[in-house]
A and B are shown apart, each in its own frame.
Chain A
Amino acid sequence: MSLIRQKATEKGNLGRVGVVIGVPAALAFAFIAAAGWFTPDRLTPATVVRTFDSVDGPHPGFRRNHAKGVCVSGWFEGSGQASPYSSAALFRVERSPVIGRFALAGGQPYQDDAPDKVRSLALRIMPANGSEWRMGVNDIPVFLFRNARDFNSFLIASRPEATTRKPDPARIGAFLAAHPETARALSQIKQRSLSSGFADDAYNSLDTFLFVNADRRTTPVRWAIEPEQPVSTQNNVKAGRDYLFDDLTATLAEHSLRWKLMIVLGQPGDPTADPTVAWPVGRTRIDAGTLVLDKAEGEDGGPCTGITFDPLILPEGITPSDDPIPAARSAVYARSFTARSGETKAPSAINLNSTQSGK
């Protein structure tokens, strides 16, 4: 060390000492800048997870959003009709195993079921010879926000007041005044027709993705998962606080449920980057195949708990578009998955033994 000290203090070596200290210091500085330490306003996955925790209260071990849910499984059988648009193996005429999850939107794992709460379906489709596809789809016509920052700001604005335990209408109003796209989307969501439960509900991608076919030609797509079961608008809400989930699991104990995966082909000019805007009606729709679910299991020990339905786990033949929401969901889901996987979880609201249909 004395040798280094001697060299460092030698006449004419000051500039060299500057380089010796300056290069690693600059690297360290750039590193913490890349980590966002100098830009505290940057919206990170950790910020969004913290927002959920502060709005919905901490619920260790649960998903930070769509917290109340149940695992399902079955298979997807491609029709071959989407194959001209996407080279994904699962669109071929073959069966791929599916793990899924029905849930209610929102970060509260013990919330009561209600007819107008947003219902979601998450899927993991695993073709035998090809890459898997994960998605989370919702029973609303459009998404509420153009980007993750607006979503996070809205969550903060909707945080229940300590005194009233309800969101402050003035704060929500201020957000909606500044975000007419969210106000428009909210009114479309309020006008949607409500089906009786999970089984006869239709679920929409909301986000836009690109199908890529064998010739590398891309097509912007959205999709809907539409029930083959007859749709009823009667609701069974009097049956109890878990009536949606109870209906679903009771039905699955008797028979399997089927949906069609309808791919909507975008036209030039259709908004791809803005999930708050619906595409015009009358776009070509492709029947890509049938989803069959025949088994429900509780989350605790169920097959949907140890995975995250990251919407950017896409097979070859599907890629992200310029829609910013899937990347934000992917990043925040990873953070939520890491957090909940390391926590001790209380039992889920829907806690049942394996329920398999007779068929």
Chain B
Amino acid sequence: MSERKYFSPLARGLHWAMALMILAMLFIGVAMVASTGPAYHRLVGLHRPLGIAILALAFLRLVNRVASSAPSLPTTLPQGIRILAGSSQVALYLLMIALPLVGWAMLSAGDYPVSMTGGVTLPPIVSPDPALYASLRGLHTWLALGLFGVILAHITGALVHGLLLRDGVFQAMLWRRPHASTRIE
């Protein structure tokens, strides 16, 4: 029985687009909260619509992931690594959905307008509540740092597969066909 060796084109497209968006988002966020300069407003103006776009794409991606099959990991991998890989992917999905939702709820609780580009303002998702705002604001930071940590682990894992193990796991997310020697057999 032959197994799928690649993620579907939609899954690959979503992965790389979101990889760029989420990394940009994390850097915008961390630079923005440390800024009192004119860049602050521009960064905030990017951060909010980009976050909502990530949220929408994350839902699309979750549906796609559940609906279509993903290539399975090589059976040669030890059990520990397989569990680690699986749980880090669950964490990535959870965080890329939770972070924008917490951001949206935080702005709602702080009675900030959730402004997108072009004069569009999203409705609040929780009632104004300053104490809740303060808690969610802290949670937003910790989740973001957690997401960045999981992303670093994910990148390290991907590079271990792609450069050292050369077992086709990294290539499953690429377009170029792997060399015969690195195919999953």
User: Is the pair B36, A327 in contact by a Cβ cutoff of 8 Å?
Assistant: yes
Query: B38 interface residue, CB < 8 Å from A?
Result: yes
| Interface 1/0 per residue, A19-35 and B, CB below 8 Å | 11101100110110011
Contact A20 B110 (CB under 8 A): no
Chain B residue numbers with a CB within 8 Å of A316 are 119
- Is residue B86 contacting chain A, with contact meaning CB distance below 8 A? no
| Residue count of chain B within 8 Å CB distance of chain A | 45
Is B8 an interface residue when CB atoms closer than 8 A count as contact? no
Nearest opposing residue in chain A for B23, CB measure: A27
- Inter-chain contact A20/B164, CB cutoff 8 Å: yes
B130 touches A341 (CB 8 A): yes
**Contact present for B129 and A36 (CB under 8 Å):** no
Segment 1-28 of A: residues with Cβ below 8 Å from B: 1, 3-4, 7-8, 13, 16-17, 19-21, 23-24, 27-28
A13 contact set on B, CB distance < 8 A: 163-164
Query: Across the A-B interface, how many residue pairs have beta carbons closer than 8 Å?
Result: 133
A330 to B44, CA, bound (A): 10
Residue B110 contacts which of A4, A24, A337 (CB distance < 8 angstroms)? A337
Closest to A87 in B: B119
Range of interface residues on chain A? 35 or more
Kindly state the separation between the CA atoms of A359 and B113 in the bound complex, as whole angstroms: 31
Contact flags (1/0) for B16-58 with A, using CB distance below 8 Å?
0000000100110011011111111100100000000000000
A173 to B78, CA, bound (A): 70
Which residues of B does A touch, CB under 8 Å? 23, 26-27, 30-31, 33-41, 44, 76-78, 80-81, 110-113, 115, 119, 121, 128-131, 133-135, 137-138, 148, 152, 155-156, 159-160, 163-165
Which of B76, B81, B134 is packed against the most chain A CB atoms within 10 Å? B134
Is A28 in contact with B152, judged by CB distance below 8 angstroms?
yes
| B34 and A27 form a contact (CB under 8 A) | no
Whether the pair A327, B31 counts as a contact (CB closer than 8 A) is no
Taken together as a complex, chains A and B put the C-alpha atoms of A155 and B35 apart, in Å, by: 19
State the A residues within 8 Å of B (CB): 1, 3-4, 7-8, 13, 16-17, 19-21, 23-24, 27-28, 30-31, 34-36, 42-48, 131-132, 148, 305-308, 310, 312-313, 316, 320, 322, 324, 326-328, 330-332, 337-342
A236 to B29, CA, bound (A): 49
Indicate if the CB atoms of A310 and B112 lie closer than 8 Å: yes
Q: Specify the main secondary structure of chain A where it touches its partner.
A: helix
Centre residue among A19, A20, A305 by max chain B CB count within 10 A: A20
CA distance A308 to B23 in the complex (A): 29
A44 surroundings in chain B (CB, below 8 A): 33-36
Query: Quick check: B81 and A36 within 8 Å, CB to CB?
Result: no
- Which residue of chain A lies nearest to B151 when distances are taken between CB atoms in the complex? A27
User: How far apart are B41's CB and chain A's nearest CB, in angstroms?
Assistant: 5
Q: Please determine whether B34 and A19 come into contact, CB atoms closer than 8 angstroms.
A: no
Q: A17-B164, A19-B163 are in contact. List 6 more A-B contacts (CB 8 A).
A: A4-B160, A23-B156, A131-B113, A131-B121, A132-B113, A327-B40
